Amino acid sequence: MMGCEKVGTRERILETAIDLFAMKGFNDVSIREITKAVGIKESSLYNHFASKQQMLDEIFEYLSKQFESRSVSEEEAVRHIEGLNPTEFMEMCLMNFNMYFGEPKLMKIWRILSIERFRNERANDFFTKQLIDTPLTYQSAVFEAMMKKGLIKEGDPKALARAFYSFMLFIYLRYFEVGHQDNPAANEELREMLKAHINFFTGAIAKYIL
């Protein structure tokens, strides 16, 4: 009788699971809790997913595919960034932040990863690679190219990348990882902090006034 909307039940389950996992973590959310929120019985869920674990796997798979589809080569990254002035560079940083955390669904999955990485080695590897190591590699390549072109002072590009990018991790750790914020008022404050950060770096590494 109510089965007229059978299309979408699977997706509704998955969206609900993402919401709940992001709030409480995979282990602290029960099948009963998910199905109650969706409005179905526990047993019905198993017509769509073989196990609770499979739901988590699909969620991580989704994030992984998002990154595959959006990834660019280091060469492209260098070409895009090395010629920018400070203001344009800041906008680029904000865009990157938005690519990672701008969409609520992706943000929630990052939170799930942040929680699961303590229990799951694969989750930790993905988290470390995508959120830390890969961005550092790109950032280092960009700084190295800028040094070779004489745009910024000579130095250790890896150390410079760590110093610059650490701030992004600080923002994530302090304002994004634990989900009690979601207030748009803080956005302007974050933007000001990023501006101040880039101002500092511009002054610190500029060979000439950019």
Contacts with DNA, residue ranges (CB under 7 A): 3, 6, 9, 29-33, 39-44, 46-48, 50-53
Looking at beta carbons only, is 43 or 85 nearer to DNA?
43
- Using the contact rule CB under 8 A, the part of the chain among 59-67, 74-82, 141-149, 193-201 near a copy of itself is 193-201
Shortest spacing between CB 137 and a copy of itself, in angstroms: 13
Shortest spacing between CB 76 and a copy of itself, in angstroms: 25
Burial 86-97 (b: 16+ CB within 10 A, else e): eeebbeebbebb
Helix, strand, coil share of the chain (percent; to 5)? 75, 0, 25
**Binding to a copy of itself by residue 87, rule CB under 8 A?**
no
CB–CB of 139/159 below 8 Å?
Answer: no
What residue 166 binds from a copy of itself, DNA, none (CB within 5 to 8 A, per partner kind)? a copy of itself
CA-to-CA dists, residue 181 to 23, 38, 103, 186, angstroms: 12, 25, 15, 8
Shortest spacing between CB 55 and DNA, in angstroms: 8
CA of residue 173 relative to chain centroid, distance: 11
Tokens of 109: 């999955």
Segment 97-126, which members bind a copy of itself (CB under 8 A)? 111, 114-115, 117-119, 121, 124
What residue 25 binds from DNA, a copy of itself, none (CB within 5 to 8 A, per partner kind)? a copy of itself
Distance between CA atoms of 68 and 5, rounded to whole angstroms? 32
Q: Which of 174, 186, 191, 207 binds a copy of itself (CB under 8 A)?
A: 174
CA-to-CA dists, residue 185 to 14, 106, 120, 167, 190, angstroms: 30, 21, 34, 20, 9
Q: Which residues bind a copy of itself (CB under 8 A)?
A: 24-25, 27-28, 111, 114-115, 117-119, 121, 124, 128, 132, 155-156, 158-160, 162-163, 165-167, 169-170, 173-174, 178, 180, 193, 196-197, 199-201, 203-205
